[in-house]
Structure 1
Amino acid sequence: MFRHPRRGALRAALALGVLLPVVATATPASAAPPAVTCTSGKSGLAAKLSQDIAAALKGRASMTAVAVHDRTTNTHCELRATQKFDSASIVKTTVLAALLWDAGKQGRGLTQREVNLTTAMITKSDNASTSTLWKQLGVAKINGFLRAAGMTQTVPGSGGYWGLTQITARDQRKLLDLVTVKNTVLTDSSRTYIRKLMRNVVSSQRWGTPAGAPAGMTVHVKNGWLSRATHGWRVHSIGLFTSSTANYSITVLTHDNKTMNDGINTIQAVSRVVHRDLNPTASTMGKTFQLPAVPQEAMPPVPETGPAHPAG
């Protein structure tokens, strides 16, 4: 969710195995369709994922970007990985990581106030908490974190409009990598804290990349949604999935959706085939993911020059 101002339109580790490009989804006739590219250390998996992600996207109107990283099989998949999207609430995980990175540089833990703000920001996608932390950090510190994290394609939204931060699927995958494995950017306790909050997102916001996850998998998720006059609904989901035998992340970013649910359906179609291909013998959680009848903390679409409204 995000409040945007009255303004004019805005401008928009090598894995083992063989790179197998497959046409992913329909695009305007004037543009060559992109390909899903996957590599893997597991025989046959790259081709399977490439084909299945492409099939899941066939005929869908939205612009979709995908990044998958499975550490167990050393598998990577990408589709439009450098395409930029308005972040909506996906940026809140970056804000949290930047706060923890900055606190670590200062040699301190989070204050109780910061704990309260970050908990509301991630588990409930609270806008006011995000704005408070964005202002506290300032763009200079956020950019400092992005440089440290190697998220070179991410550009913070100007004028305090954090929901208009420009993001890519590849940079979101890098962020999830930092949240997952030991590194020099985030301390072990910081990574544990981020995973804890993403694990405890409220049930009404647990749609998206968790769809089709195997039974027994620990699910960490953060979603975002925002409607504007150009590109319709932006609907995004990042997820981290862990168990005693599995450790992988899924990022799906979309825009040009007519409705929020169109975006959710696209994300979940991709996520189901990724979970299935990475866990071919596992049973799924069996949970039906109910799509929201009314977007929580979101308002009807507004024109680029219309009044400010919140979105996810």
Structure 2
Amino acid sequence: MAQDIQSALSSRGGSVSVAVHDDSGLTCASASERQYDSASIAKVLIMEGLLRRAEELGRGLTDRETADVRPMIVSSDNGAARRLWTDLGHSYLNGFLAHVRTRATILGPGGYWGLTRTTAADQMALLDVLTNARSFLRTRAYGLKLLSEVRADQRWGVPAGMPRGLKAHVKNGWLPRSTHGWRVHSIGAFTGEDRSTYRIVVLSHDNPTKAYGVRTIERIAQAVHRGLNQGRGSGRGLTPRSTVSEESDGSAPYEPLPGWDEPEQDATP
């Protein structure tokens, strides 16, 4: 599978990081410690922090929290993300990141949640929260449910090549900036009654267009699904380029943020 991933990347430009975990024990990674602007995948962190806080307080989500968390995930609503980010605050979210043992995720400054810097390895740690049996049951079930209901036009990326009979729990980010071009990210967990759960994270930047980044991610995803599901037929093809909108997810400003983006460097060469 590692060779197939490298083959999928061989003709593609840009910077790409990959992390794959299967509950059977398989792991695969490429440049998984490189940092990227998170764009809208930061919404998974916000969701998990919200659910964890409610569990710690011994309560369910309030009506107001529910009214925000669902559109934040299902339709990538930025206003809802901003309200929850502000409500949770940096102190709580940093404590949550420490609890799940992320190593290189740095929260965006002030209200800029889309400028959170993260790595494929840390995104895998966050996905593990939703699929780990030691996590709070309510947190896992509700979080996975929301990710399985992301609207159709935002379900490109890591589901490509997924066999029939599996369910995809996915969140994507797509953000152009004046440095490093398009950030195009896709993270997902895949579950099925007769298949152990596995997770795929693909982060990228330096893409000339969103469609280019989506195609790179989907070629990698096809290789992963094929390698983990030998004997199963592929049930999901590539997203047609004509259906990929080049509109930003709006999670961060296009121009560099003084004091934050300059200089912008990867965590690894």
Structure of higher RCO (CA pairs closer than 8 Å, 6+ residues apart): 2
Q: Does 1:189 align with 2:138?
A: yes
User: In structure 1, what is the Cα distance between the partners aligned to 2:225 and 2:196?
Assistant: 11
Distance 1:288 1:77, change over 3 A: closer
Which residues of structure 1 form unaligned runs of 5+? 1-48, 307-312
Residue 178 of structure 1 aligns with an amino acid whose one-letter code is V
The alpha carbon displacement at 1:298 in A equals 4.1
Question: Which residue of structure 1 aligns with residue 100 of structure 2?
Answer: 149
Question: For residues 271-290 of structure 1, what are the structure 2 equivalents within 5 Å?
Answer: 271-287=221-237, 289-290=239-240
Q: Does 1:129 align with 2:80?
A: yes
Residues 207 and 290 in structure 1, CA contact (< 8 A), matched pair in contact too: no
Q: Report Cα offsets for 1:235-271 as digits up to 9, x if no partner.
A: 0000100112231000000000000011101100100
Residues 218 and 238 in structure 2, CA contact (< 8 A), matched pair in contact too: no
Q: Percent identity?
A: 43
User: In structure 1, what is the Cα distance between the partners aligned to 2:110 and 2:247?
Assistant: 25
- 2:172 counterpart SS class: strand
Tell me the TM-score normalised to structure 1 length.
Answer: 0.78
User: Which of 96, 110, 127 is the equivalent residue of 2:61?
Assistant: 110
Tell me the TM-score normalised to structure 2 length.
Answer: 0.90
- 2:206 counterpart SS class: strand
User: In structure 2, what is the Cα distance between the partners aligned to 1:90 and 1:191?
Assistant: 17
Moved more, 229-238 or 277-286: 277-286
Question: Which residue of structure 2 aligns with residue 242 of structure 1?
Answer: 191
Which residues of structure 2 form unaligned runs of 5+? 259-269
User: In structure 2, what is the Cα distance between the partners aligned to 1:118 and 1:141?
Assistant: 17
Post-superposition, which runs of at least 4 consecutive aligned residues in structure 1 deviate over 6 A?
A: none
- 1:77 counterpart SS class: strand
User: In structure 2, what is the Cα distance between the partners aligned to 1:140 and 1:305?
Assistant: 22
Residue 283 of structure 1 aligns with an amino acid whose one-letter code is G
RMSD value, Cα? 1.7
Aligned residues: 254
Residue 50 of structure 1 aligns with an amino acid whose one-letter code is A
Residue 156 of structure 1 aligns with an amino acid whose one-letter code is L
Q: Does 1:95 align with 2:40?
A: no
The alpha carbon displacement at 1:303 in A equals 3.8
- 1:52 counterpart SS class: helix
User: In structure 1, what is the Cα distance between the partners aligned to 2:156 and 2:110?
Assistant: 30
User: In structure 2, what is the Cα distance between the partners aligned to 1:284 and 1:82?
Assistant: 30
The alpha carbon displacement at 1:230 in A equals 0.5
Q: Does 1:165 align with 2:116?
A: yes
User: Which of 218, 224, 238 is the equivalent residue of 2:167?
Assistant: 218
Question: For residues 31-46 of structure 1, what are the structure 2 equivalents within 5 Å?
Answer: none
The alpha carbon displacement at 1:287 in A equals 4.8
The alpha carbon displacement at 1:87 in A equals 0.1
